[in-house]
Structure 1
Amino acid sequence: MIKEALQYIIMNFTSETKNIEGQIYSTQPLHAVRQATPEPLQVRNLSGLVDYIIHNYDEQPAVLIQVSSPTEVNVYSTFNRDMIRNHLLKASALLPSIPFERFLDLEHFNILLQSCFVPNEHRQTLLAIVGNVKDEHVTTFGDDGIAQQVTAKTGVATVAPVVVPNPVFLKPFRTFVEIVQPESQFVFRMQKGPTAALFEADGGAWKLTAIDSIRAYLSDRLQDQIKGGRVTIIA
C-alpha cells in the first residue's frame, strides 16, 4: 500500500519540462508566486513629493518620476522580479470643482470667478459685467451671430447696453498650486435669467503647458538628485 502511494505521488506531483519541437512544456500545471508590491503613498502637493525624494525615505537607489497629467504625478522604482514597477508615491492635486459648460445664476457665477480663478484683467471685466446686470434680457447681435450684449449699470445712476466680451482669457485653478496656473481661452455666454457660463476653447493646450510647468518645477528642486543619477523625470 505504501509503495503504491509513493508511486502515485511521484507520478502525479513531480514536475518535469519537455522540449517538443522547440516549445517548452511542463508535465504539471504551475502557478507563479507573485512578489508583493507596496501601495503607493498618497500626497496632495508637489512639495510633499519633493520632500520624499530628497530624504530618500524608502532608500531607493534610483526612481522614475512620471508627470501623468496636470493633476497627477507618480514615483516608481525599477522592475521587480515579476517585471512590475513598484509604485512608491502618487501626488494628486487638491482642486476645486469648476462647473464649465453649465449655466449658473449670476450670484453663483460671481462667487465662482472670485474663488476658483486667479485674478487677471479678463476676470475683473467679467466680474464688472455680472455684478452690474440690470435686466434679464440677453440679446445677440452682429453678422456673426456670436456677439452678445446685456443692459448693465455703467455709472452711478445710468444703465446702457454692454457688449459681452468674447473670447476671454482666464486662469482657473486646474493644476498643482505650487506652479503658475496656465491661462487659456474661454467662450463666455449669457442667457435669459440672467445666467452665465464658461466653455473651454483652447483644445486642451493648457494641459501641455501645465505638464511642462510641473516638470520644470520638479527639475529645479531636484537638480542635485537628477545630476547624481538618482532621479529621472518624464512627462
Structure 2
Amino acid sequence: MNGIKEALEYIVGLRKPEIVEINGERYSDKELRRICHNPKAKVIGMTTLTSLVDYIKANVDCMDDKMIIHVQSPTKVALYSNLDLDRVREYLVEVDASVPEFLYGRYYDHESFLIALQSKFINNSDRELLLKFAGTVEDKSVATYGDDGVTQKATIKTGVASKTDAIVPNPVKLRPYRTFIEVEQPESAFVFRMSQDGSGGVKCAIFESDGGAWKNTAMKNVKEYLQSELADMPQFTVIS
C-alpha cells in the first residue's frame, strides 16, 4: 500500500499547478517554490586581524558597495555583505583568534603555573609579584594557617636558609592573552588561590572576578583597530 501511495503522490506531483481566483485572490492547488540562482561564496577562515585587513585592501574579490564587519566576541570577527534582493547576506570571512589556553578556576601544579604565567600573560607588576611569591613558597606550608576564603598565608623562602610568613597576594590584576594579538590585552582582576596536593606540593589557581567586563573592553579594542586600519574605506562598517 505504501508503494502505491508514493507512486500516486509522485504522479500528482508531476501535474502542473492549477491557479484559481476566488473573491479577487489567487490560489494554487500545489505548494510553489521560487527558483533562485543566487550562489554564495564559501567562507574563508582566518586567525588574525591583519590577514582580514590585508584581504580587504588587496581587493582580490568583488564585494558590495556596503560591507559589514561584525566583532562577535573577543576572539571572533565576521565579514558580511549587505542584504541582497532575497534579503540574504553573503558570509565571506570568519576570523578566529588563536589564543593560548589557560583554564581559570583550575589548580595547576607549581611548575606548570609558573610556566603559564610567563608564557600566557603579559608582564606587569602583579604578574611579577605572583611569579616571585609562587616561586618561593615552601611546600606543605599553605594549609598550616587559617583560611577564611579571602586571605591565605604561606611560608616563603627569603634567602638561602631564611624563611618568613607572608599573605598570599589577592586580588591581582593580570593581562592574559585572551583576544587578537594585534590589540591591547585587557587588564582585569583575578582571585589568586593556593592549595596543596596529596603529597603536600603547592598548587595554584586564578579565578576571574570582573564579571566578564574584559570582553567588552577587548571587543572595543578590536573594533577601534579595524576602524583605524580601514579608515580610508568607508564602505566597511565595523560593529560590535
- Pair 1:13 & 2:5 matched: no
- Pair 1:157 & 2:165 matched: no
The amino acid that maps onto 1:75 is L
Give the 3 Å change call, closer, same or farther, for CA 215–11 of structure 1 in structure 2: closer
The amino acid that maps onto 2:51 is G
> Structure 1 residue aligned with 2:204, among 181, 190, 196?
196
Q: Which residue of 2 aligns with 1:6?
A: none
Structure 1 spans left out of the alignment, 5+ residues: 1-8
- Pair 1:95 & 2:103 matched: no
User: Following the alignment from structure 2 to structure 1, what is the Cα–Cα distance between the partners of residues 24 and 104?
Assistant: 60
Q: Which residue of 2 aligns with 1:26?
A: 28
After TM superposition, the structure 1 = structure 2 runs for residues 1-235 of structure 1, keeping only pairs within 5 Å, are 13-18=15-20, 20=22, 25-33=27-35, 35-60=38-63, 61-139=65-143, 140-141=145-146, 145-192=149-196, 193-226=201-234, 230-235=235-240
* Larger CA deviation: 16-25 vs 99-108: 16-25
Structure 2 spans left out of the alignment, 5+ residues: 1-10
Q: CA deviation digits over 1:2-43, x for unaligned, max 9?
A: xxxxxxx99962224445568653222223445332221111
- Alpha-carbon deviation of 1:51? 1.0
How many residues were matched structurally?
Answer: 223
The amino acid that maps onto 2:169 is P
Q: CA deviation digits over 1:180-222, x for unaligned, max 9?
A: 1000010000012310101000000000000000011011110
Q: CA RMSD in A?
A: 2.3
- Alpha-carbon deviation of 1:84? 1.8
Q: Which residue of 1 aligns with 2:8?
A: none
Q: Give the secondary structure class of the aligned counterpart of 1:53.
A: helix
User: Following the alignment from structure 2 to structure 1, what is the Cα–Cα distance between the partners of residues 39 and 163?
Assistant: 70
Q: Give the secondary structure class of the aligned counterpart of 1:79.
A: coil
The answer (yes or no) to whether the contact 1:182–1:210 under 8 Å persists in 2 is yes
- Alpha-carbon deviation of 1:57? 2.0
Q: Give the secondary structure class of the aligned counterpart of 2:180.
A: coil
Normalised TM-score (structure 2): 0.85
Q: CA deviation digits over 1:143-200, x for unaligned, max 9?
A: x541001111123431111211111000000000000100001000001231010100
The answer (yes or no) to whether the contact 1:135–1:152 under 8 Å persists in 2 is no
User: Following the alignment from structure 1 to structure 2, what is the Cα–Cα distance between the partners of residues 168 and 74?
Assistant: 33
The amino acid that maps onto 2:33 is H
Give the 3 Å change call, closer, same or farther, for CA 121–30 of structure 1 in structure 2: same
